[in-house]
Amino acid sequence: MSHEDIISKLHPLERKVLPLLEQGISFDTLLAKATSMKEIELMRALQWLENKKVIDLKVDIKEVVDLDENGKNYLAEGLPERRLLSQVKKNTKVADIDITKDELSAALGILRKKAAITIEKKSEGLFLSITPAGEKSLQKESLEESFLKKLPIELKDLKDEDKFALESLKQRKRIIKTDIRKIRTIFLTSVGKEIILKDLKKVSSSIDRLDPAMLQTSSWKNKSFRKFDVSINVPKIIAGRRQPYLEFLNDIKRKLVGLGFKEMTGPLIESEFYNFDVLFQPQNHPARTWTDTYHLKYPTHGILPDKKIVNAVKSAHENGGSTGSTGWHYNWNPEIAKQLMPRAHGTALSGRQMAKGIKIPAKYFGIARCYRPDVLDATHLIEFNQMEGFVADDTINFKTLLGMLKQFAIEIAGATEVRFYPDYYPFTEPSVQISAKHPKLGWIELGGAGIFRPELTEALGIKVPVMAWGLGIDRLAMFKLGINDIRYLFSSDLKWLREVKLV
């Protein structure tokens, strides 16, 4: 950049500062000289000049001892011990001395130590008398007093007597304080040395701000605009944004809708009937115990749906009903089915949707908030989202189930390869677990799936095979959001929410 270029880009604030600059001038001195500028304006102007390589700003960190609140007062009116002593003659009554109570007790302690007074307790109160040593000390400035006059002073410049005074004053309330100060000194660069010699006015006829008046009067014509340093850093803006994990879920929803799935929703509090019984999970199943699922203290029981469904579910459990199954061989208890609980898995949504009645072919998905008794840590949430769904059609079989899962792995997880593992779920048979090879994450367990058992679907009046799936998408979300701690999906860190990249 030529010198003219630099000058043409100078901000009015920079123009104000330039003539005031001297080699090695301190910021404070400069501030005193730049009477029309605020401290922040001066600071910004200097930073811009530094960006333009006109000056070097040297910053020294200094520890400085300075007067605190009380110190400032004492410097003007004298330390309490001097004020007290100057009022003491022989047998002076304490109550007659003009001094505050706090100052009195501090001053008494110090004067006694110096043997400057004697104290006598009489029935009318305390009486003080000045000693010869006291008289002498009245004539002389104490170390503390002369120290206060020197302030502010840098810590490293302290002499021995200063250190003594410092230690003694430190014990006392708000007389001195130690500050850490940035001392800024300005040095002109070779460019700067030349520029301050130029006549700034020569290149000063440019427009700084385009304002409406100029546009109305066309006065901008034939004028040039001051050039800006477009490479400059600007303060960050804080704007409102969507929650990143919810945005991730929206992306996935969009993909599923694109694949022909309808969204289903359901209540957070479920009956065990929909959470387990409809899904053919026997009432003595370990997943239904207190260690595996939450139960409610209040309200405890809900209402079962209409008898037709309840009876069909009951006989499916007890003897397989009309499905050709043996069932689980036990007496199904409607009271257990009525018990309420926070939804434990997303499949409860599918159960509810099927019980409501569906039109074949049907493709449904849902994102369900689920609850399990886990502790909150970097790898566990106390509540989490599951993505579930099902497809009901006469053409469904195990091959098409694998086909759909492979499609999910590719479309949703960006997988390059899949592998299938036999698995067990109480509500599906055959059951499968899918692993997907993600280009960055490697092999991840993507989810479980299967064909709903006929004991389940037939009890709900569905005569065609129904394939059901549940995808674990949190690891994918964590990868996309660049986090290792799962709690960030429900982040309570405002800074992170304001700054994280959206996916």
Name residue, tokens 């302290």.
158
Distance of closest approach, residue 265 Cβ to other proteins, in angstroms: 5
> Which tokens is 241 given?
């944004």
For the segment 213-272, give every residue that binds other proteins (CB under 8 A): 238-243, 245-246, 250, 253, 256-265, 267-271
Q: Measured from the CB of residue 355, what is the shortest distance to other proteins in angstroms?
A: 11
Chain residues 464-493 in contact with other proteins, contact rule CB under 8 A: 465, 489-493
In the complex with other proteins, which residue's Cβ is closer, 30 or 405? Answer: 405
**E-strand spans in 427-485?**
428-438, 442-452, 466-471
- Say whether residue 163 binds other proteins (CB under 8 A): no
Q: How crowded is residue 473: how many other Cβ atoms within 10 Å of its Cβ?
A: 21
Alpha carbons 364 and 391: distance in angstroms, whole number: 7
Distance of closest approach, residue 44 Cβ to other proteins, in angstroms: 19
Characterize 137-166 residue by residue with b for buried, 16 or more Cβ atoms within 10 angstroms of its Cβ, and e for exposed: beeeebbbbebbeebeeeeeebeeebeebb
Helical (H) or strand (E) element with 179 = strand 176-188
| 453 contacts other proteins (rule: CB under 8 A) | yes
- Rounded to 5°, angle at Cα 204 from 203 and 208: 130
Whole-angstrom Cα distance, residue 12 to residue 19? 12
Residues 393-412 that bind other proteins (CB under 8 A): 393, 395-400, 402-407
Given the complex with other proteins, which of 146 and 322 has the nearer CB atom?
322
User: Minimum distance between the CB of residue 447 and other proteins, rounded to whole angstroms?
Assistant: 14
The CB-of-249 to other proteins minimum distance in angstroms stands at 9
Which is closer to other proteins, CB of 361 or CB of 461?
A: 361
Around 494, how many Cα atoms within 13 Å sit in the side-chain half-sphere?
A: 3
Closest CA to 276 of 426, 386, 423: 426
Specify whether the CB–CB gap between 262 and 365 falls below 8 A. Answer: yes
CB of 475 to other proteins, least distance (A): 17
Residue 437 in the binding site for other proteins (CB under 8 A): no
Identify which of 352, 362, 390 has the alpha carbon closest to the alpha carbon of residue 275. 352
Residues 270 to 289 in contact with other proteins, rule: CB under 8 A: 270-271, 284, 286
Tokens 């709903």 sit on residue: 452
Q: Report 121-140 residues binding other proteins (CB under 8 A).
A: none
Using the rule CB under 8 A, which residue among 40, 216, 230, 298 binds other proteins? 298
Q: Is 299 a residue that touches other proteins (CB under 8 A)?
A: yes
What is the side-by-side order of every strand in the sheet holding 55-67? 25-26, 176-188, 55-67, 153-154
C-beta separation of 347 from 353 below 8 A: no
Binding mask 27-46 for other proteins (x = CB under 8 A): --------------------
- Number of residues binding to other proteins, judged by CB under 8 A: 101
Interface with other proteins, residue 310, by CB under 8 A: no
Q: Does 324 bind other proteins (CB under 8 A)?
A: yes
Give the footprint of other proteins on residues 337-376 (CB under 8 A): 340, 342, 361-363, 369, 371, 373-376
Cα gap 193→3, rounded to integer Å: 11
Report, in Å, the least distance between residue 476 CB and other proteins.
17
Q: Which two tokens stand for residue 145?
A: 């007093």
- Whichever of 83 and 262 has its CB closer to other proteins, that residue is 262
Q: Are 182 and 61 in contact (CB under 8 A)?
A: yes
Residue 178 Cβ, how far from other proteins at the closest point, in Å?
25
| Chain residues 44-83 in contact with other proteins, contact rule CB under 8 A | none
Nearer to other proteins, 61 or 239 (CB): 239
Q: How far is the CB of 278 from other proteins (least distance, A)?
A: 13
Count Cβ atoms within 10 A of the Cβ of residue 353 and give its class: 0-12 exposed, 13-18 middle, 19 or more buried.
Answer: buried
Q: Least distance in Å: CB of 248 to other proteins?
A: 11
Which residue number, 110 or 264, has a Cβ lying nearer to other proteins? 264
Crossing angle between the packed helical segments 143-150 and 69-77, to the nearest 10 degrees: 110
